[in-house]
Amino acid sequence: MKYVDEFRDPQAARRLLADIADAAAGQPSRKFMEVCGGHTHAIYRHGIEALLPASIELIHGPGCPVCVIPMGRVDDAVAVACAEGVTMCCFGDMLRVPGGESTLLEAKARGADVRIVYSPLDALALAERLPDRQVVFLAVGFETTAPSTAVTLLQARERRVDNFSVFCNHVTIVPPLKAILDSPGLDLDGFLGPGHVSTVIGTRPYRFVPEQYGRPLVTAGFEPVDILQSVLMLLRQLSEGRCEVENQYRRVVSGDGNDRALALLREVFVVRPHFEWRGLGFIAQSALAIAPEFAPWDAELRYEVPGVRVADPKACQCGEVLKGALRPWECKVFGTACTPETPIGTCMVSSEGACAAYYNYGRYSSRSRIPVHAT
């Protein structure tokens, strides 16, 4: 029980593990998917899989916004970055995401002006500082970051920053959950719902999971004990024959979400009819585009992009990993041709990706499960 001693509250963790062992003992094997990349990272970092009874399997879901960007969109971003007079701004973890042709980092090495920003507001400030450049912000992320892009676009319009635009790749969390529930052969028994996305959207949008698909969902915090408690809550729902949305992360997440952020999303974005997700294919109404009122700041309208769908490399099995059908180490190129230094697939790029998290922390512990003895 080496890992548990390193938790900040080892006693609580031991109690929870004992309760989980009790609850799991009377049930068939269970597969729970954690949707959020932050959870995936925490699970590997803390060796949580090895502490759980062997009958409980955690499947790592698609909740890493960098990992779900399809190669064709990266090519489009590279095309914008290489356009005359453009300065492309992005978050650091987008730089090494492979496109069909190249990464943004390679485009930068070839002379494109690609810069890392912390916030979309930094990209807007840069546009004001560089009036002779066309500054484009490469927007990625779920509902946690989309409101920030919305505020930035409102400020761009208010301050009439005409040399600024946004290449929008924001996605929403509910449609991929639906896609996963609809995909054949994935027998999931429940979900650990995302933490910080839920601060924006609240817990209500997840109700379809129990109501239409008969699976429980528990929004979970990021601490090891949060994750353990959420697993226990799922097991108890199943053993008591309940099926509902529960909120383990009450201290941060409310049922209603953040009204202001949701209003901003409605004001600045429209839902796309469909959007391609890496590994999951096209999912209806799963992404946000910039609303017509903000068209002058929409990089997709301003620049010619190839807009071509690029098939994932044959060797790469990110799609299967993202759906939880394959464990990271079961991918043919994991850790050999595909590493965090030279990623082939997106799951290896972002530190929230299942493959990168497993490569960094899990390689030596998850394959052999350690029996749990609560002490």
Partner 1 sequence: MCVGIPAQVVELQPSGPHTAIVDVDGAQREVNTIMVDDEPLAVGDWVLLHVGFAMSKIDAAEAAETLAFMRELGSVYDEEIEAFTSDLP
Going by C-alpha positions, the residue among 153, 179, 117 that lies closest to residue 289 is: 153
Indicate the residue among 61 and 210 with the shorter CB distance to partner 1.
Answer: 61
Token pair recorded at residue 52:
């759980």
Q: Does 324 bind partner 1 (CB under 8 A)?
A: no
- In the set 20, 117, 188, 228, which binds partner 1 (CB under 8 A)? 117
Could you tell me how many residues make up the chain? 375
Q: Does 88 bind partner 1 (CB under 8 A)?
A: no
DSSP characters over 318-359: HHHHHTTSS-GGGSTTBTTTB-SSS-SSGGGTSTTSHHHHII
Beta 274-277 vs 281-284: how paired, if at all?
antiparallel
Going by C-alpha positions, the residue among 70, 67, 78, 69 that lies closest to residue 108 is: 78
Q: Does 141 bind partner 1 (CB under 8 A)?
A: yes
- In the set 16, 58, 81, 91, which binds partner 1 (CB under 8 A)? 91
Indicate the residue among 200 and 321 with the shorter CB distance to partner 1.
Answer: 200
Contact 200, 261 (CB under 8 A): yes
Task: Report d(CA 99, CA 69) in Å as an integer.
Answer: 9
Contact 181, 280 (CB under 8 A): no
Q: Does 343 bind partner 1 (CB under 8 A)?
A: no
Task: Report d(CA 22, CA 203) in Å as an integer.
Answer: 28
Identify which range of 86-94, 156-164, 203-211, 232-240 contacts partner 1 by CB under 8 A. Answer: 86-94
Q: Does 370 bind partner 1 (CB under 8 A)?
A: no
Task: Report d(CA 18, CA 13) in Å as an integer.
Answer: 9
Binding mask 224-253 for partner 1 (x = CB under 8 A): ---------------------------xx-
Q: Least CB distance from residue 184 to partner 1, whole Å? A: 28
Q: Does 216 bind partner 1 (CB under 8 A)?
A: no
- In the set 12, 83, 105, 116, which binds partner 1 (CB under 8 A)? 116
Q: What angle do CA 277, 178, 33 make, to 5 degrees?
A: 85
Q: Does 261 bind partner 1 (CB under 8 A)?
A: yes
**Tokens 């998850």 -> residue:** 366
Q: Least CB distance from residue 314 to partner 1, whole Å? A: 29
Residues that bind partner 1 (rule: CB under 8 A) add up to a total of: 53
Restricting to residues 292-321, which ones interact with partner 1 according to CB under 8 A?
Answer: none
Q: Least CB distance from residue 38 to partner 1, whole Å? A: 4
Indicate the residue among 225 and 283 with the shorter CB distance to partner 1.
Answer: 225
Task: Report d(CA 236, CA 24) in Å as an integer.
Answer: 9
Task: Report d(CA 317, CA 327) in Å as an integer.
Answer: 10
Task: Report d(CA 301, CA 167) in Å as an integer.
Answer: 9
Footprint of partner 1 (CB under 8 A):
8, 36-38, 41-42, 45-46, 63-66, 89, 91-93, 115-122, 125-126, 129, 140-142, 144-145, 147-148, 151, 194-197, 199-200, 222-223, 251-252, 258-261, 264, 351-352, 360
